[in-house]
Structure 1
Amino acid sequence: MKTVIQTFNSQALVASRRSFMGHTGALSAVAVALLAGKDVLAQGMGGDMSKDVSILNVALGLEHEAINAYQLGAGSGLLQKPVLDIAVQFQGHHKAHRDALIATIQKMGGTPVMEKKLDDYAKALKADTLRSQGDVLDLAARLELGATNAYLGVIPAFGSKDLAKVAARLAADETMHFTILTNALGRPLPAGALSFGA
């Protein structure tokens, strides 16, 4: 049963991450500059803001999902104290990502996508199937790997080093999370070099 659940969750995760990566290749320099907090750099740049807002809202939706996944894990009673502390710390990183995305969307004149209710995330992530600390960590690791690859996927779209740096910093956070979670699960890290973002 666990394999079936993992397959279902993985398919849904891959679909949402692919959607993000497919849309974000067209993210304008304006949006990335604002996301980076470089408002001065964004001034004078043109672009279709509505398309960028839509793309950033996809990313924001994924950050909402990650925040709530960690909330579900923290509230499950399945996490031991040291692991719980790390989960809360990682959730804080995702909240910072969320806040940066919301601020950017608002600067662009858009309306940030609203966070769903915790119960909606619980249903979508099949939280009722989480039976152990390992199950919670496995879910979090899969979400973090998807986020790593999604953010890495947008870097080649940017001509500016400053703009690419923002996506790289987000990917670095996600990679750190994935690595620590994988280690906590007792799984080997990827054996080959250049294993992320492929």
Structure 2
Amino acid sequence: MRRQLVRGSATVLTAAGITALLGARGAALAQKRTGNAGQDVGVLNAAIALEHEGIAAYTIAAGSGLLQPAVVKIGVTFRGHHQRHRDELIKVVTALGGKPAAAKSDAEYATALNAAALKNQTDVLRLALKLERGAANAYLGLIPSLATADRHQLVARMAGDEAFHAAILGNALGDPIPTDGLMFGA
């Protein structure tokens, strides 16, 4: 699993990809957790890759010409949140003696996200909502695999931010409020 995460951090990771990778294995990771800093570096680098993707997605969207100015402002704010997440994760990885995952080019992210298929503001918001929901789930899936409570808290806070982003985007799209609770982490 560690090798998959480390290898995966070197490629474009989508939120859905991280969620799929960790979703079914969260309990197994918690049982196998050894407190190994190398394991946490791999897991956190996957999260850094996720943040790089989010930053690129909002950068691409802001420059697309498809969004109204008020929506661009929200996207730029969310991009700032993702930059803060990335920076906090980089601090932890560096403190653990690891090398933080590098970002790809915006062009590589645009290809991976199929940005060329986005034709209007609704398309962009739907993609952003999908990424934010996936990111919230991915962060919740990371928690059991990390060795310390401070790292649990950090990624839990980030999951909260991602869920907040998803709520704002869902509202902007006019999506109904879900009738069932426990929307994330399943």
Give distance in 1, aligned partners of 2:26 and 2:90. 18
The number of aligned residues is 171
Q: Which moved more, 1:62-71 or 1:148-157?
A: 148-157
| Consecutive unaligned residues in structure 2, runs of 5 or more | 1-13
Of the candidates 123, 134, 139, which is equivalent to residue 146 of structure 1?
A: 134
CA contact (8 A) 2:51 2:82 kept: yes
Change in 2 beyond 3 A, CA 1:121/1:27: farther
CA drift of 1:47 comes to 3.2
CA deviation profile, 1:22-72 (whole Å, cap 9, x unmatched): 47945999xxxxxxxxxxxxxxxx832222111111111011001000111
- Report the counterpart of residue 18 of structure 1 in structure 2: 20
- Report the counterpart of residue 197 of structure 1 in structure 2: 185
CA deviation profile, 1:155-198 (whole Å, cap 9, x unmatched): 45679765543232111100000000011111112211122212
- Aligned-partner residue type, residue 179 of structure 1: A
Q: Does 1:170 align with 2:172?
A: no
For 1:1-198, list aligned pairs within 5 A.
Answer: 13-21=15-23, 22=25, 25-26=29-30, 47-156=35-144, 163-198=151-186
TM-score, normalised by the number of residues in structure 2: 0.82
- Report the counterpart of residue 3 of structure 2 in structure 1: none
CA contact (8 A) 1:23 1:55 kept: no
Higher RCO by CA contacts (8 Å cutoff, separation 6 or greater): 2
Give distance in 2, aligned partners of 1:163 and 1:102. 12
Higher-Rg member (1/2): 1
| Consecutive unaligned residues in structure 1, runs of 5 or more | 1-11, 30-45
Calculate the aligned-residue CA RMSD, in Å.
2.6
CA deviation profile, 1:3-35 (whole Å, cap 9, x unmatched): xxxxxxxxx652332225547945999xxxxxx
- Aligned-partner residue type, residue 118 of structure 1: D
CA contact (8 A) 2:139 2:155 kept: yes
The percent of aligned pairs where both chains have the same amino acid is 46
Change in 2 beyond 3 A, CA 1:191/1:88: same
**SS, match of residue 196 in structure 1:** coil
TM-score, normalised by the number of residues in structure 1: 0.77
CA contact (8 A) 1:28 1:52 kept: no
